[in-house]
Amino acid sequence: MKQEIQNSYPLSFMQMMELIEHEDTAEIIAKKTYNQFPIALITDYLEDRQQAEKELGQTTIWSQVVRGCVGFARDKEDLIKKATGREEFDLETVLSCWEAQEARWARIFELRTERLSQAQEQARVKREAFQKAKQARIQETMASLSNGLNKLKANKDMSADQRAEYSRKISQKEQEMDDLRHLKQHFENSNERFSSNVRRHFEEVEEDFYRRSQYPSQQSRWQQAVVQEAYAQMQFVTEQQNEVFEDSCRITRRNIEDKIEELHKERNALPW
C-alpha cells in the first residue's frame, strides 16, 4: 500500500495528510503545507477520506505522532522496528493505526479512481458534444457558402476579364518587390565580401611594411600613409555607394507599393 498508484493521490501527499489535524479544512491544510499541493487535490482528498471513514466505520483518531510514524513507515516490518522501544506510544496502538490506515488508504484510492473515471467520462461526453456542435456549424457554414457561390454563378461577373487583368498586374508588381529584395540582399552580401577582401589586403600591406624595416624610413612612412589614405578613401566611396543604393531601393519600393495600392483600388471599383 506504500506505493504510488497511477492517477491516484501521490504517496508523499498521503503521508503529509496523515500529519494534519482531522478537523482542518482544505484552506488551512494548504496554508500549513505552504501551498505545496493544489487546493482542488486537497478538497477531493478530504471528501474521499470522509466517505472512506464512513463506509469503514472508522471513528478513532490517533495522535499526530502515531499517525506520522505509521504514515512514513515503508512497510509493517519497518513500522515495528521504528515503534519498538518508543515511550510515546505502545506497539499495539501503532499496529491498530496501521491496519486502519491500510484499509482507509485502499478505499480512498478506489474512490479516487472512481472520481477520475467519472471526470474522464464527463470530459469525453463534453468533447463529443463539442465536436458534434462544431461539425454542425461547419456544415451550416458550408451550406451558406455553397448558396452564396450558386448565387454568384447565377449573376455573371460583368468585369471578370478586367478584374483578372488587374490581378495579373498586381502579381507582377509583387514579383518586382521580391526581385528588389533579392537584388538588395545580393548587393549587400557582395559589398560585404568586397570590403572584407580589401580590408584584409591593406592589413597585409601594412604588415609587410613592418617586416621589411624595424626602423621605418621616411619613404616607408610616406608609403604607409598613402596606403592608409587609400583605404580611408575606399571606405568613404563604399559608404556613399551603399547610401545611394539604399535610397534607390527605398524609392523604388515605395513606387511599387503605391502602384499595387492603386491597382487594388481600381480593381475593387469595377462593377460586378
Query: For the segment 174-221, what is each residue's pLDDT rounded down to a tens digit?
Result: 998 898 888 888 888 877 887 777 777 777 776 766 666 555 566 666
For 42-70, the DSSP string reads HHHHHHHHHHHHHHHT------HHHHHHH
Average pLDDT over residues 222-238: 71
Average pLDDT over residues 225-246: 75
CA proximity to 4, closest of 114, 109, 101: 109
CA proximity to 112, closest of 25, 47, 21: 47
Average pLDDT over residues 212-232: 64
Q: Is the pLDDT of residue 98 over 50?
A: yes
Q: 235: pLDDT confidence band, cut at 50, 70 and 90?
A: confident
Q: Is the pLDDT of residue 154 over 60?
A: no
Specify the higher pLDDT residue, 129 or 187.
Answer: 129
Average pLDDT over residues 158-164: 80
- For position 224, what pLDDT does the model report? 65
CA proximity to 249, closest of 174, 172, 180: 180
Query: For the segment 35-91, what is each residue's pLDDT rounded down to a tens digit?
Result: 999 999 999 999 999 999 999 998 888 888 888 888 888 888 988 888 887 777 788
Contact 69, 84 (CB under 8 A): no
- Encoded amino acid at 267, one letter: R
- For position 227, what pLDDT does the model report? 66
Q: 30: pLDDT confidence band, cut at 50, 70 and 90?
A: very high
DSSP 21: -
